Amino acid sequence: MKFLIIGDIIGRPGRKALKEFLPKLKKELGYDVVLANVENAAGGFGMTKKVYKELKNVGVDVMTSGNHIWDKKEVFEFIDEVPDLLRPANYPEGVPGKGYGVYEKNGTKFAVINLMGKVYMECNLENPFRVFDKIYEEVSQETNIILVDFHAEATSEKWCFGIYADGKVSAVYGTHTHVPTADEFILKNGTGYVSDVGMTGVWYSAIGMKPKQAIERLLYAMKKRLEVEDKGEIVFNAILVDIDEDTGKTKSIERIKRFL
C-alpha cells in the first residue's frame, strides 16, 4: 500500500500545488492514500471548514496538524465532527478533536497517529512516548499498518521517537520545521523514517512566509505579523512510503519534490 505524505501545506500556494500535482502523481507513482499536515493551510495559520472541504475535494484522505491547528477559532466548531482531521494526541484531556484514527481505503485498514514533541514546544503537553504506548496498544489490535506524524522542533527528539517506535509502526515522519531532511531511511526493524517532510508553499520565503516580516522580527526583536508569501515558484515536498500489507513494514521510502 503506497502512502503519499505531504509536508506542511502553507496557505493558498500550498493548496494550489496539491491541485496541480496530486492527479499527476497518482498516474506517475500510483499512490493509494494521501496524508497531509494542514496546520498552516488556511492563510498560513490554522484550518477552516472551507479549506478542509477543499483539501478533501482534491484527494487528501487524512489530515494531521500541530500547534497551529487552533489559530483559526472556527476549527472548534467542526473538529469534533470530522474524524479525518487530527490534532496532536498528547494535548491534555478535554481538548476538542482526536489525535488518532483507524481508516480504510480499498479494503485495507490503516491507522494514523498525530503526536507533538515537547522539546522547544508547548510545555503542558503530555509525554508523546507514553501517549503513543497507549494508542498503539489499541490500534494495533485493528491493523498493523500504522503511521505517525511526529510534529516537533528538535531533530534529536524525532530520531529518538523513530527508534522507540521502530518495529511497532510502519512509518514515522516529522513535520513542523518546514525544511525537508535528507535522512529518509528504513530503520533496523522495518519502520520507515524521515525527520521532516518539508513544506508545500513558495520556496523563496521564510518557511512559507514573507521574508521581510520574518527578518524584521530577527533584526529588531519585535513581533511582526507574518503573512503567507504568495509570489514566486512553489515547492511541493512529500514522501512516498510503500508498506507491505501483510507485515506492516516499510518496503521503500522516497522523497518527492516538484516545482510549480
Distance between CA 108 and CA 145 in Å, rounded?
A: 9
Q: HSE on the CB side for 127, CA within 13 Å?
A: 4
HEC-encoded secondary structure of 164-222: HHECCECEEEEECCCCCCCCCEECCCCCEEECCCCEEEECCCECCECHHHHHHHHHHCC
Name the DSSP letter for residue 162. H
DSSP 24-59: HHHHHH--SEEEEE-TTTTTTSS--HHHHHHHHHHT
The residue with cell 489499541 is 138
Burial of residue 141, with CB atoms counted within 10 A of its CB: 0-12 exposed, 13-18 middle, 19 or more buried: exposed
Catalytic annotation on 151? no
Residues 228-248 as b or e (16 or more Cβ within 10 Å = b): bbbeeebbbbbbbbbbeeeeb
Active-site residue identified among 68, 151, 176, 178: 68
Residue 200 in grid coordinates: 508545500
Distance CA 16, CA 10 (A): 10
Q: β-pairing, 108-116 with 100-105? A: antiparallel
What are the beta bridge partners of residue 235? 201, 259
- Residues identified as active-site: 68
